[in-house]
């Protein structure tokens, strides 16, 4: 077996232990206990990064990146020469390049995925999916806190200039900045997306 391949197999064979995971969380918190939020935020950014690079499996690549960070922490015990964000970004670029070499060109792969996804369902099935999706989303919005539900509906109400005016008025009414309002809305939307995904996968 090629030494490089052995090293890759050894790297991929490494598993994230609870201790390593806790060390990773602590490293992300940088002394301030965030309850795992920093880790989740970094994982989300990694996922979006790989998604922007048109990777088929952005979640897996994000986990791979975080595993490598955790392993490096175990091996080196500390990584003080850079920030967690910069280190994760640098490592993510390496993971992406490796992914390109292993999976071939992304465009052809994605095209095949696109073709497969569009050809696999009939009109009736699509309609059923659509109805189920709507029911799930209704359920997910009902699970939201009433204030958050009202906020997300008002945030996306209207079109074009009206939508902007509505958001300004909403921010004024809530006593927050437009930026803070968009952050709140994005988080609620992300929560709904996750809830819908879980509901559809049941």
Partner 1 sequence: MEKQTYDDQLILQYLLGRLSDEEVDRLDCLDFEDDQFSQRLQAVEDDLIDAFVNDELSGQELERFNSHYLLTPRRREKLVFARAFQQLRHSSGAAARSEKKPSDWRRVWREPLQLWGLAAAAVLLLLAGIWLVSDNFRLRNRLQQTRADLNTSNPREQELRSQLERQRSANSAIADELKNIKDQLALLKRRQAEPQKQSQNRDPGDLSIAHFDLAPQLRSIGRTGDTISIPPGTDYVSFKLKLEPGENGIYRAELKPQGGNQAIWKSGKLQTRSSDDARVTELRIPASLLAPGWYILELSALSSRAGVEIGYTFRVENK
Q: Which residues bind partner 1 (CB under 8 A)?
A: 42, 45, 47-49, 51-52, 54-56, 58, 83, 85-86, 88-89, 92-93, 107, 110, 113-114, 117, 130, 133-134, 137-138, 141, 150, 153-154, 156-162, 165-166, 169, 179, 182-183, 185-186, 189-190, 192-193, 196-197
CB of 178 to partner 1, least distance (A): 10
Q: Are 113 and 107 in contact (CB under 8 A)?
A: no
Q: Which is nearer to partner 1, 7 or 197 (CB)?
A: 197
Q: Which is nearer to partner 1, 25 or 151 (CB)?
A: 151
Q: Which is nearer to partner 1, 16 or 137 (CB)?
A: 137
State the Cα–Cα distance between residues 145 and 153, nearest whole angstrom: 12
Q: Are 41 and 83 in contact (CB under 8 A)?
A: no
CB of 9 to partner 1, least distance (A): 28
State the Cα–Cα distance between residues 53 and 31, nearest whole angstrom: 32
Q: Which is nearer to partner 1, 9 or 157 (CB)?
A: 157
H or E element in which residue 46 lies? helix 37-52
Q: Which is nearer to partner 1, 12 or 48 (CB)?
A: 48
Angle of helix 58-76 relative to helix 18-29, nearest 10 degrees, comes to: 90
CB of 190 to partner 1, least distance (A): 8
**Measured CA angle at 61 (ends 129, 24), to 5 deg:** 120
Q: Which is nearer to partner 1, 27 or 49 (CB)?
A: 49
Give the SS3 label for residue 2.
coil
If you write DSSP's letter for every residue of 68-126 in order, what string do you get? HHHHHHHHHS---SS-HHHHHHHHHHHHHHHHHHHH--HHHHHHHHHHHHHHS--HHHH
CB of 15 to partner 1, least distance (A): 25
């Amino acid at each position: 077996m090629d030494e490089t391949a052995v090293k890759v197999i050894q790297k991929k064979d490494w598993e994230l232990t609870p201790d390593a995971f806790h060390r990773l969380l602590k490293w992300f918190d940088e002394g301030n206990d965030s309850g795992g939020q920093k880790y989740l935020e970094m994982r989300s950014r990694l996922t979006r990064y790989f998604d922007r690079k048109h990777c088929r499996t952005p979640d897996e690549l994000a986990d791979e990146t975080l595993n490598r960070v955790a392993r490096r922490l175990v091996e080196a015990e500390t990584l003080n020469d850079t920030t967690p964000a910069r280190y994760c970004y640098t490592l993510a670029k390496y993971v992406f390049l490796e992914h390109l070499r292993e999976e071939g060109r992304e465009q052809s792969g994605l095209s095949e995925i696109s073709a497969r996804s569009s050809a696999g369902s009939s009109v009736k099935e699509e309609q059923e999916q659509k109805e189920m999706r709507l029911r799930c989303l209704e359920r997910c919005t009902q699970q939201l806190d009433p204030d958050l539900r009202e906020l997300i509906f008002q945030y996306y109400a209207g079109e074009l200039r009206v939508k902007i005016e509505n958001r300004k008025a909403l921010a004024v009414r809530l006593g927050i900045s437009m930026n803070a309002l968009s952050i709140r809305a994005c988080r609620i939307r992300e929560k709904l997306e996750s809830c819908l995904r879980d509901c559809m996968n049941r």
